[in-house]
Amino acid sequence: MKYVCYAIGIPLLMLAVGCGPSSPYVSGYYYDPHPLVASLPTTQPSEPPPVSAYATIVGIRLPDDKLHLPLSMEVRLRIDDNSPDPVTLDPRSMDLSTGDLVRFDPAIVNPMTPVTINPGESAMITAEFPFPPGMTYSQINLEELQWRWVLYVGPQRVDQVANFKQVVEPTYYGGPYYYGPSVYVYPPYPVIGGVVVIHHRW
């Protein structure tokens, strides 16, 4: 399987894990499951799911004045379209809240426009959910997080919900992808800022 990457929005700046003076993430905040996998059911057992979504909580991102990023919870979502229809995700449909129903501010994604994944393509979305104004991670119970988003498979609306629990140490599951600080990308290259990357698979 071959991947061709197209970057939409700001350039991708690769971070060398373990290199550099300090991490842009707050240490000690890991979430399971990672990956969390949400797939639409297939009608044929021998065929792959028509649409699969892989979600992860990357961690708490420290403020970055140069990138105009406030203190945020960084998340990552990969969508694989194996269906005959295009799949659309509107980043504005994404919502992140805690187990105590404290909502984060709307996600920062560049561009903040609907993302269309054509059949045979995958999309990787990295988003930053800013903490509520005047609040920091020490003032909020972050033991449980719920992330919601809406997909359209052709004209069909699909609502997906991912629930995460904080763990002391990260758990690793098999897979070819490595995402961010000690985490992989689970129903429904580390990057800087909220971005969208489209992969064409053949």
pLDDT at 150: 95
What is the token pair recorded at 124?
């990787």
Residue with tokens 């069909």, as numbered in its chain: 156
pTM of the shown model: 0.74
* CB contact at 8 A, 37 and 54: yes
β-partners of residue 121 are 200
Question: Domain spanning 3-16+29-201: which CATH class is it, in words?
Answer: mainly beta
pLDDT at 55: 96
Please name the helix (run of DSSP H) or strand (run of DSSP E) that holds residue 147, with its range, or none. Answer: strand 144-153
- SS3 for 139? helix
Residue 174 has pLDDT above 80, yes or no: no
Domain range annotation of the chain: 3-16+29-201
Per-residue pLDDT tens over the stretch 133-164: 999 999 999 999 999 999 999 999 999 999 99
What is the token pair recorded at 169?
């140490």
**Sign of the four-CA dihedral 41, 154, 38, 202:** positive
Higher pLDDT pick, 197 / 80: 80
Q: Are strands 115-117 and 87-89 parallel, antiparallel or unpaired?
A: antiparallel
